[in-house]
Amino acid sequence: MLISEIFRSCYPPIEENIKEMNNEEIREYCITKPGVTEGFPFNDTALVFKVAGKMFALLDLSEKSRGFSMKCDPELAIELKQNTI
Domains (range + CATH), the chain: 3-15+24-84 (3.90.1150.30)
Q: What pLDDT does residue 11 have? A: 56
Q: What pLDDT does residue 2 have? A: 56
Q: What pLDDT does residue 1 have? A: 46
65 vs 35: CA distance, rounded Å: 28
Q: What's at 50, amino acid-wise?
A: K
Question: Would you give per-residue pLDDT tens digits along the chain (85 residues)?
Answer: 455 555 555 555 555 555 678 888 889 999 999 999 999 999 999 999 999 999 999 999 987 777 888 888 888 878 777 776 5
83 vs 77: CA distance, rounded Å: 10
